[in-house]
Structure 1
């Protein structure tokens, strides 16, 4: 051997031996733990997230008070932790990088993704900011939040008193309106899109609904009566094209409210927004839609009477402040509350009585605090938490437990024959509980979100779902099967409405688009499946009719459409808080916005925004100020 090479080989050998001695062996992670951490990263589902909580200026600098913690997870670190509640997410007392996942009183230690830390109040992983709470929140604040969510004053369902058309409830939440049998009940599909509507998504949405060409109003996807399928659009204001909104409304699709700002942080909607804020966001966007989409026309497709539905941003209901606002302003329905996953799924209900599932995510205080061997909150057997080998795609496809529609029906019939017991499913939010109503709001409908789920996911918007094996645009079988499995959970049991909730993200991936089209084609082969709007669903629930009695008629497209859209160029003035409108005489920052509307005559003086929905330069008023003026006028008269 060359003598000059020998020292180099010796040095490399020493370095290798040293690194082997000093290297840290990562802890064993079971397949279930990987799935759990993956679900815990889904912030939109209210669970810990790998997505940072961003302000408009991006991530803030970390505070110096929190030390960096890079220790690996100790496989025995959960032995001394006692779950304060049966199910949920809790801070690790020894590390801000970690949190404890409790299921059926059993703790499992989890670690946030790199560079993220667990916030004890928000219950998800985020960047270190001055607002980050490392550790559990104070007992006083916990009690205050629990009191805000206390539903003891909200009565449970009384079917003898709650009668259609203005009230509907059932003890388990799974009963079909009108006591119809499943095979007599239409299977409604609610396809809906949340967010801004503009050129980035408009053509994608049209293709999903079966519009064959850019300028055509003819559809090639039809309901059993031969009419085109219908969808619902939950809109927020920023970057929206109001000419396109008007066109969709003229074709018979529903337009609903989703807020003006869609602001961050997400917890603003639950922790900060009051009655006036919710009115400004939801009624404000209603007035903006009316003003910019030709609502003043005598033959308009959009009128105030048609804008009667809402959805809270991020599926973050605001409790009584939100529901009272919706009730006072005469809205027909809300669709912000996420129901627990399960079979059979939930039907919509009215807020005359308490919802049929637990929003607080808490077990009863009388429940014995002991671990039970059975299904935990994650829907898996506790004994299966050991180390597992990840299956290959072929093995998973072979072993995938899939129930046929017939098997779902047999299971549902067995459930119906067993004696009824009051079993309240827990909220799917492992972190903070939902902020539901604590008092009745008669006649206000709630269309709950039945989540999509499988062994990898519990997702509320379809674009939040994870498909580990769908890496190729042409490899769509996993996605199609996932959608079919979730649909059959509805179709094969109580036929509760099946929702397909989308953001623009779904349509940025060709494989997802192909899978959705194939799934839609499958649904259209079923002659008892109807694609309807949320308003059409509520109309049917108020007066349920059997499949044989349905007599939907095709809507005549008599409403006017935008023949010559116009783009308004307006200034956007903001106050120092970054979210409230300001005037051109007193603003913190400004920019220029380009906003397509139906006609040049309806351009606002400045960009419409929170606090100035009319877009006036001076003397503008909030929604509640206008309400106070109207009340004062009535009292004077």
Structure 2
């Protein structure tokens, strides 16, 4: 008892002295109890269809995501692939962009948001040393992702509350830390976690109220209880060589469009003909630059999905909304009574020439130019 008092006294003294910036306690997660983990706010890890709905009655959701900077180089692909496509309900299809800060054109970010696409977080620094993400503290994760949310909201001029998800660079799960940051920052979900164990049948999104037994092929699994934090699992694809991958552009793929299209269809069918868990197509747009057939096959795959009247291409946020409140395809209007909000972009793009230490950066954004290049610890770039 006396020892506990001493520890508590030392901790209070540290907080008062400013040596502890944040002190958040999290309980160790226990095995999931289905009777106390119920939708819409809690779901045990499962490949079972939410609320026991019949597989033939539910929609197949497709999640198209992109990592890294958004700029004029890759925006042309998004414009050509997405801007004139509709879901069966007449609403425009939606994709999710996990944006890293450097080289991003924030006027293009606003245009994507204005068209109903989801803007999500991929860190400010996108540090390439994976040990950085392994060793980063909770405060460090908050600086990377909370700071980026502030940065995007300011310089893309979009509502901060619309930004709810993150993906850790290189899918380098650090154990509990990034998920604790999601909880503390008031975000909703992570989509950094691959799975082969739950590839067939594929895994639905679930929460971290209880202990997850999802496999962790990269990094470390979380172990603490984080009520209300959602996981959008990255169900592995199988490449043309039989090996698996979470990001499709890291798969072995054919170098001709017809065979590549068939590979895309075969991975999709593993979801569509089993439990219809959301099907993720996760890439970097640079994959389209690597070989023109990649973009050609991608568009052909979207054409194919457009022939299926129970397939909806939606943002990750919208996909989790369906899992929280599962409905049949014919009742989707009850869940989504209107299309995702769209508006006319208002950005008056300004190119700012800024100093990042001794380096010069050019930043296209929708606000007044900051004093210095926005970065960790100073996401608004204020002197």
TM over 0.5: yes
Contact 2:124–2:148 (CA under 8 A) maintained in structure 1: yes
The list of structure 1 runs, each at least 4 consecutive aligned residues, that deviate by more than 6 angstroms after superposition, is none
Structure having greater relative contact order (Cα 8 Å, sep ≥ 6): 2
Provide Cα deviations, 1:128-160, integer angstroms capped at 9, x if missing partner. xxxxxxxxxxxxxxxxxxxxxxxx942222111
Match of 1:6 in 2: none
Kindly indicate whether residue 147 of structure 2 is the aligned counterpart of residue 284 of structure 1. yes
**Residues 556 and 256 (structure 1), Cα distance of their counterparts in 2 relative to 1, 3 Å cut:** closer
1:269-348 pair list within 5 angstroms: 269-270=133-134, 272-294=135-157, 302-340=158-196, 342-348=199-205
Match of 1:458 in 2: 244
Match of 1:254 in 2: 118
Provide Cα deviations, 1:286-323, integer angstroms capped at 9, x if missing partner. 111011012xxxxxxx2121111111111112222211
Contact 1:232–1:254 (CA under 8 A) maintained in structure 2: yes
Which among 233, 256, 264 is matched to residue 448 of structure 1? Answer: 233
Q: CA deviation at 1:434?
A: 3.2
Which among 80, 83, 100 is matched to residue 236 of structure 1? Answer: 100
Q: CA deviation at 1:542?
A: 1.3
Contact 1:250–1:561 (CA under 8 A) maintained in structure 2: no
5+ residue gaps, structure 1: 1-151, 212-218, 295-301, 360-428, 574-589, 618-637
Q: TM-score, normalised by structure 1?
A: 0.54
Point out the structure with the larger helix share.
2
Contact 2:118–2:317 (CA under 8 A) maintained in structure 1: yes
Q: Following the alignment from structure 1 to structure 2, what is the Cα–Cα distance between the partners of residues 556 and 456?
A: 41
- Name the SS for the 2:266 alignment partner: helix
Kindly indicate whether residue 325 of structure 2 is the aligned counterpart of residue 540 of structure 1. no
Q: Following the alignment from structure 2 to structure 1, what is the Cα–Cα distance between the partners of residues 298 and 238?
A: 16
- Paired residues in the alignment total 351
Q: Following the alignment from structure 1 to structure 2, what is the Cα–Cα distance between the partners of residues 327 and 523?
A: 35
Kindly indicate whether residue 95 of structure 2 is the aligned counterpart of residue 195 of structure 1. no
Contact 1:345–1:494 (CA under 8 A) maintained in structure 2: yes
Q: CA deviation at 1:199?
A: 1.2
Contact 1:243–1:598 (CA under 8 A) maintained in structure 2: yes
Q: Following the alignment from structure 2 to structure 1, what is the Cα–Cα distance between the partners of residues 212 and 237?
A: 20
Q: TM-score, normalised by structure 2?
A: 0.88
Provide Cα deviations, 1:2-48, integer angstroms capped at 9, x if missing partner. xxxxxxxxxxxxxxxxxxxxxxxxxxxxxxxxxxxxxxxxxxxxxxx
Provide Cα deviations, 1:551-584, integer angstroms capped at 9, x if missing partner. 132245336432x3111111111xxxxxxxxxxx
Match of 2:350 in 1: 566
- Name the SS for the 2:228 alignment partner: strand
Contact 1:462–1:506 (CA under 8 A) maintained in structure 2: no
5+ residue gaps, structure 2: 1-26
Which among 291, 304, 311 is matched to residue 522 of structure 1? Answer: 304
Match of 2:5 in 1: none
Q: Following the alignment from structure 1 to structure 2, what is the Cα–Cα distance between the partners of residues 445 and 283?
A: 17
- Name the SS for the 2:354 alignment partner: strand
- Name the SS for the 1:604 alignment partner: coil
Kindly indicate whether residue 373 of structure 2 is the aligned counterpart of residue 607 of structure 1. yes
Aligned Cα RMSD in Å? 1.6
Which among 167, 172, 183 is matched to residue 42 of structure 2? Answer: 167
Q: Following the alignment from structure 2 to structure 1, what is the Cα–Cα distance between the partners of residues 219 and 342?
A: 40
Q: CA deviation at 1:460?
A: 1.3
Q: CA deviation at 1:505?
A: 2.4
Q: CA deviation at 1:357?
A: 2.4
Kindly indicate whether residue 338 of structure 2 is the aligned counterpart of residue 557 of structure 1. no
Q: Following the alignment from structure 1 to structure 2, what is the Cα–Cα distance between the partners of residues 354 and 281?
A: 26
Q: Whose radius of gyration is greater, 1 or 2?
A: 1
Kindly indicate whether residue 51 of structure 2 is the aligned counterpart of residue 267 of structure 1. no
Contact 1:202–1:244 (CA under 8 A) maintained in structure 2: yes
